Structure 1
Amino acid sequence: MGLRFRFRGIPFVATVVVVGVGIALGNWQVRRAGEKVAIAAQLHERGMQAPIVLGGGGGVRQDDRVGSRAHPTYRRIQVTGEFVRSWPVFLDNRPHAGRAGFYLAMPFRIAGSDRHVLVLRGWLPRDPREYGRLPEYATPQGTTTVEGVVVDKAGHVMQLGTAAALKPGTIVQNLEVMDVARASGLRLEPFFVQQTGPQVAGDPIVRDWPAPDTGIDKHRGYAVQWYALAAMAALFFVITGFRSGRKQVE
């Protein structure tokens, strides 16, 4: 007995719609992945460029002046100046290596100016026995040079409850540069400096920053799912068509 296919109009139209939507959304996710690949390449290129130098006393090129568009995200930066030791802020819910802890943020005055940058100094562990106890750390005194990477965010976590009023030593869940500028009265540049550098013996601050996630694999995974949905819809239409044809013959 030969195979017979029974064509049905309504299932055919529904299949065409599902296949069309699946392919269109899959193509969109592929394009998004391509865009993210280009972004990742750009970030890598920025990381290979010579660092922006601020407050070093040797002058700063016009293209690298503070606040200019020449401060792209993930560009390396070197800032000479002094930490504002009286204004630490602790970002809560920042685990590291399976341990609860904080990110320490602190304003840093650029040498030779009244401008500041907000430095993310690194990760500090939370005391498991006393929830609200602040960790101990050391801050360099006098003029020092901080090396790091320009980032536009300190990382966002789910806000639980109402945010506390910002003041020195506050534990917060999320932090914006302009919030610190308003609360402290300091002139802050509109970006963070994610401090880098080797671990100093005896220093509890850890600077093992997570690599930026551009989401390339996520978009590729979504594309596969949409293409699979389109393929399954087409296959389902063909299989049910042959089954209906066989029943019709019987």
Structure 2
Amino acid sequence: MRLRFRFRLIPCIATILVVVLGIALGNWQERRAAQKTGLQVQLTERARQAPLVLTGGTSDVPQEFRRVSVRGQFVPGFAVFLDNRPYQSRAGYYLVMPFKIEGADQYVLVARGWLPRAAGAVGQLPLYQTPAGAITLEGVMRLDLGHVMQLGTAPPLTPNAMVQNVSVADVARASNLPLLPFFIQQTRPQAARDTLVRDWPSPATGVDKHRGYAFQWYALATMAVLFFVFTGFRRDPNHKLNPSPE
């Protein structure tokens, strides 16, 4: 039996498309893995640095994930609750409040922590306490607090609003406060009767996940080529076996 490869145009075009798609998506996942690796290095380096003291001046340049320290006072009149922020499988909110920096006409938004939602109390504000007077707090600088799916149109941003997502620019427009262009995820201090949870999730790097996806896309491209080649071989109908000599 003799096999002969038979070229087929349509399967060839389909194979080329699958190979191009698989390689392109595999390369994209590799780039994402490289970005996440760089992010992990950045997180490690900045976690080792001493807290940057914020003064409200021009030296307060946003350095995401940098530990910071700032002294001032909370402005309780414009609290915002970020909804749909579960913690350990419990529904709840992130409490965000402006913080007046001592000795400067500048404010910074502080994510004070997580508060649970009472069972059956949808739309009811959770209870919390706000320190009176000036305090020194520490935290981590963040450019955003993460985004969740927004269903419908976001309500107007008002004091004690419950929203899915918020940006510094949103709060600055609604409150008319001169806000620095970043958030602080508060880590300390933890007052005796403070019910806020400050177990902030670490930024997901997912390097292994991206590399796994890249392997799958490259494998798909390889399998497409192998399938095209293997299915292209057919028995040659014109080939006849030589008769055995008598």
TM-score by shorter chain over 0.5: yes
CA distance in 2, matches of 1:94, 1:249: 71
Corresponding position of 2:39: 39
Contact between 1:109 and 1:116, CA under 8 Å: does it hold in 2?
yes
Distance in 1 (alpha carbons) for counterparts of 2:196 and 2:83? 15
Instruction: Give the percent of matched residue pairs that are identical in Structure 1 and Structure 2.
Output: 56
Q: C-alpha deviations, 1:205-238, integer Å up to 9, x for none? A: 1011111023423422321121111121122123
Structure 1 residue 4: deviation in Å? 2.1
SS class of match (2:111): strand
Report the alpha carbon displacement of residue 82 of structure 1 after superposing the two structures with TM.
Answer: 0.6
**Contact 2:65/2:142 (CA < 8 Å) preserved in 1?**
yes
Structure 1 segment 82-231 matched on structure 2, within 5 A: 82-197=73-188, 200-231=191-222
Q: How does 1:33-72 map to 2 (within 5 A)?
A: 33-55=33-55, 65-66=59-60, 68=61, 71-72=62-63
Indicate how the Cα distance of structure 1 residues 167 and 15 shifts in structure 2: closer, same or farther if over 3 A, else same.
closer
Q: Does 113-122 or 157-166 show the bigger shift?
A: 157-166
State whether residues 99 and 125 of structure 1, in contact with CA within 8 Å, keep that contact through their aligned partners in structure 2. Answer: yes
Q: Kindly state the Cα deviation for residue 248 of structure 1 after the two structures are TM-superposed.
A: 7.6
CA distance in 2 between partners of 1:39 and 1:138 (Å): 35
* Structure 1 residue 15, shift from structure 2 partner: 3.2
The equivalent residue for 2:3 is: 4
Q: Aligned equivalents of 2:13 and 2:161: distance in 1?
A: 60
Q: 2:227 aligns with which of 229, 236, 240?
A: 236
Report what 2:243 is aligned to: none
How far is the alpha carbon of 1:28 from its aligned partner?
3.5
Residues 73, 246 of structure 1: CA spacing in aligned structure 2 closer, same or farther, 3 A cutoff? farther
Q: Give yes or no for contact 1:199–1:206 (8 Å, CA) kept in 2.
A: no
Letter in 2 for 1:45: E
Instruction: Tell me the distance in 2 between the aligned counterparts of 1:99 and 1:172.
Output: 18
- The SS at the match of 1:27 is helix
Size of the aligned set, in residue pairs, is 239
Contact 2:46 2:66 survives alignment (8 Å):
yes
CA contact 2:137–2:189 (8 Å) conserved in 1? no
Q: TM-score, normalised by structure 1?
A: 0.86
- Measured in 2, the distance between the counterparts of 1:129 and 1:25 equals 44
Shift of 1:197: 3.3
1:182–1:7 CA distance, 2 compared to 1 (3 A): same
* C-alpha distance in 2 between matches for 1:131 and 1:25: 42
**CA shift in 2, pair 1:36/1:238, >3 Å:** same
Q: Deviations over 1:139-165 (max 9, x none)?
A: 111110110000011211111222222
- Any stretches of 5+ residues in structure 1 without a counterpart? none
| 1:122-154 Cα deviation digits (max 9, x unpaired) | 100112122111111111111101100000112
Superposed CA offset, 1:11-56 (max 9, x none): 445434533442343233223312321222122212221211024x
| 1:120/1:195 contact within 8 Å kept | yes
CA RMSD of aligned residues (A): 2.4
Residue matched to 2:235: 245
Per the TM alignment, residue 246 of structure 1 is displaced from its structure 2 partner at its CA by: 6.9
Change (3 A) 1:28 1:169: closer
Q: List alignment gaps of at least 5 residues for structure 2.
A: 241-246
1: CA distance, partners of 2:189 / 2:226? 56
